[in-house]
Amino acid sequence: MSPESMSSARRSAGSSDISAWEKVFSLARKEADDRLTLEQELKRWGQDHSADAALYTEFEDGFQLLSKTGATPFPQQIQTTEELAEEWSRLELPQTLLLHTANLDDPQSSTALVLLAAGARISSLKRQVQEQNFQAKFRGVELQALYDVGLAIASTLDLEELCEEALLRAVSLLDARRGALYLLESGRYRLTSRFGGEALAHFEADPAQITSLLDDKANGASAWLPGANHLLAVPVEVERNARGLLVVADKESRHGVGPFPATDRRTLLLFANQAAIAIENAKLHKLALEKERLEREMELAAEIQQQLLPKVMPTIPGYEVIGWNRPARQAGGDYYDFQHLENGGWGLVVGDVVGKGVPAAILVSTLHSSLRVLLDQMEVGPALIERLNRHIFESSSANKFITMLLAALDTEKHTLAYLNAGHNPGLLVRAAGDIEHMTSGGLPLGLLPDGQFGSATLDLDHGDLICIYSDGITECEAPDEEEFGLERLTDLLKKHRRQPLPEVLHLIDRAVTSFAQGLPQGDDQTVILLRRRQPA
């Protein structure tokens, strides 16, 4: 009530109305009986006008009955004044009264009407204050419950256990009969936990479909939770990035099973925010554990692979020899070895397993053990390679194969017999600087079960240099994607063919590294250098 209206009302009221005003303003006290006071004033108005009367006040969803007088069955709630007029006309009531806050500023209103209107406003304000107090207390209880729930779900880092716990807490928090939790994976929402019945196993991350689900417009609740009637779904997000969906259905109460009120959506959203953080932490923890496991496996594979490579260079009378390997990762697919043969010669091998990492390292181990056994039993030649090829074919997956160059050095005849199974051509740099290529004589090992392999033999003179390498050397790329290439390697070997082998190896390493200009190593790199010594 405005001060002007109140003053006008007081001036127009007689001394007989003072007690009425006092009663009306007493409504502001917490302990005042709103209904009794309003009924008294309404009864007084009804007696003055010889009519039953009802006092309504505006609420969010229309008008609600505050007080009434007489035996007329006034409705408890109406939506509009037109609806009220139609209802009372149907009941054939002799006289009606509708009061709400607008009556306070009506200069034609009688003192009794102003009193009732003031009482209605005070009562309405009291109800609003009571509702706000209730909401504040409820909010405090709700936040405490959410805090407790948040602590509970955050206490585990096991993703599956966390998802189950989060769903159970959500269902319990909202007194729901059903529930499901979906996580977003590769553009699809996948069901991770469900409660109370079946749930849709997965669905695409289609924006329109997700919006329909969040608004409960997607063919009803049964489309997502078969048998459910009332659905409430909220997103599980981290910094507004979708991580999943939390869905509950069919709220239980003392009146039965029904829909969820608007406040439940807010509660579920707050809970989903907490769950999202816990789920994100669990995912990161899982990824960290997986990364740690893979790193341990890589370290183990690298350790095993290093055990396979020569620890010291062999001493070969009349020859210098050196080998070098640098994997692109901890464990690589390149392999080299030296083996003393029964005829007194030496076997030299460089192999390159397709791929990198643990799978490649496992196949390297297979190659190492198989070749060692075969070299103890057979001479280096096509029969040995054919047998090795069948073993690799049978013991490896379809997409795995090995390129290999195997050579046998005869230290008495000073010859080098070799077989090239799809490997890069080895290089023979003659003492005078001429270049010969040790080209391929067959397919890589493991491609076909019955591969055919050819062999060739080279005569080695004093000062002749052999270089066997893997494609990590020649295919090393610069930032403009140009490859180091065979020509650069050949020129380097020709220019430095007389220098000590450790220096030649260092020059190859430096040239390749400089050519890459800081780019990460793209492939494993391996080199064997063998040179017949000059006579003393």
- Residue 446 CB neighbours (<10 A): 29
Q: CATH number of the domain at 165, please.
A: 3.30.450.40
| Location of structure tokens 């607008």 | 102
Whether residue 451 has pLDDT greater than 90: no
pLDDT value, residue 498: 95
Question: Domain boundary residue among 285, 301, 335?
Answer: 285
Asked if 387 contacts 379 with a C-beta cutoff of 8 angstroms, the reply is no
Domain coverage including residue 168: 154-285
Question: Domain boundary residue among 96, 131, 166?
Answer: 131
Q: Which residues sit opposite 436 in a β-bridge?
A: 428
Is the model more confident about 534 or about 111? 534
Whether residue 11 has pLDDT greater than 50: no
340-364 pLDDT tens trace: 998 899 999 999 988 666 777 778 8
pLDDT value, residue 477: 94
Is the model more confident about 527 or about 187? 527
Residue 297 lies in a domain: no
Find the angle CA(154)-CA(155)-CA(161) to the nearest 5 degrees: 85
Residue 136 lies in a domain: no
Is the model more confident about 241 or about 132? 241
Name the nearest CA neighbour of 324 among 502, 475, 471.
Answer: 502
DSSP states of 169-181: HHHHHTTEEEEEE
Measured CA to CA, the distance from residue 523 to residue 329 in angstroms comes to 8
Asked if 317 contacts 411 with a C-beta cutoff of 8 angstroms, the reply is yes
Residue 368 lies in a domain: yes
Is the model more confident about 21 or about 48? 48
Same domain for 494 and 386: yes
242-299 pLDDT tens trace: 888 999 999 988 778 888 888 888 888 887 887 787 777 777 878 888 888 877 777 7
Question: Domain boundary residue among 74, 96, 131?
Answer: 131
pLDDT value, residue 133: 58
Q: Going along 29-127, which residue ranges are E strands?
A: 53-59, 62-69, 77-78
Find the angle CA(125)-CA(126)-CA(130) to the nearest 5 degrees: 115
Residue 471 pLDDT grade (very low, low, confident, very high; cuts 50, 70, 90): very high
Same domain for 275 and 159: yes
Same domain for 317 and 242: no
145 three-class SS? helix
Structure token pair of residue 509: 């390493």
Whether residue 226 has pLDDT greater than 80: yes
Rama region for 135: left / alpha / beta (φ>0; ψ in -120 to 50; rest): alpha
Residue 275 lies in a domain: yes
Asked if 535 contacts 431 with a C-beta cutoff of 8 angstroms, the reply is no
Same domain for 66 and 8: yes
Number of domains comprising the chain: 3
Name the nearest CA neighbour of 333 among 311, 297, 370, 365.
Answer: 365
Provide the residue count of the chain: 536
pLDDT value, residue 340: 94
pLDDT value, residue 411: 95
Name the nearest CA neighbour of 351 among 529, 474, 526.
Answer: 526
Residue 318 pLDDT grade (very low, low, confident, very high; cuts 50, 70, 90): very high
Same domain for 87 and 174: no
Same domain for 348 and 232: no
Same domain for 112 and 166: no
Asked if 508 contacts 473 with a C-beta cutoff of 8 angstroms, the reply is yes
Residue 293 lies in a domain: no
DSSP states of 223-267: GTSTT---EEEEEEEETTEEEEEEEEEEEEETTEEEPPPHHHHHH
Residue 332 pLDDT grade (very low, low, confident, very high; cuts 50, 70, 90): low
Whether residue 215 has pLDDT greater than 80: no
pLDDT value, residue 279: 79
Is the model more confident about 446 or about 23? 446
Over residues 150-163, mean pLDDT: 69
Residue 256 lies in a domain: yes
Over residues 370-384, mean pLDDT: 91
Q: Which residues sit opposite 58 in a β-bridge?
A: 63
Over residues 395-421, mean pLDDT: 92
Q: CATH number of the domain at 496, please.
A: 3.60.40.10
Same domain for 167 and 96: no
Residue 216 lies in a domain: yes
Asked if 379 contacts 423 with a C-beta cutoff of 8 angstroms, the reply is no
Same domain for 239 and 329: no
Whether residue 305 has pLDDT greater than 50: yes
Decide: residue 490, CB within 10 A, 0-12 exposed, 13-18 middle, 19+ buried. Answer: middle
The enclosing H or E element of 162 equals helix 159-173
pTM of the complete model: 0.54
pLDDT value, residue 93: 42
Same domain for 325 and 256: no
pLDDT value, residue 155: 60
Is the model more confident about 460 or about 110? 460
183 three-class SS? strand
Name the nearest CA neighbour of 93 among 64, 71, 62, 112.
Answer: 71
Asked if 425 contacts 378 with a C-beta cutoff of 8 angstroms, the reply is no
Range name among 58-62, 121-125, 238-242, 466-470 with the lowest pLDDT average? 121-125
Over residues 327-343, mean pLDDT: 84
Whether residue 386 has pLDDT greater than 60: yes
Burial 20-51, CB ≥16 within 10 A → b, else e: bbebbbebeeeebebeebbbbbbbbbbeeeeb
Is the model more confident about 63 or about 143? 63
What residues contact residue 292 under an 8 Å CB cut-off, 6+ apart?
A: none
Same domain for 258 and 318: no
483 three-class SS? strand
Q: How far is CA 237 from the centre of its chain?
A: 11
Give percent of the chain with pLDDT exceeding 70: 70
Over residues 212-239, mean pLDDT: 78
Same domain for 201 and 94: no
Q: How far is CA 24 from the centre of its chain?
A: 62
Torsion of CA 323, 327, 333, 339, to 10 degrees: 20
As a whole number, the mean pLDDT across the chain is 78
Structure token pair of residue 472: 């990590």
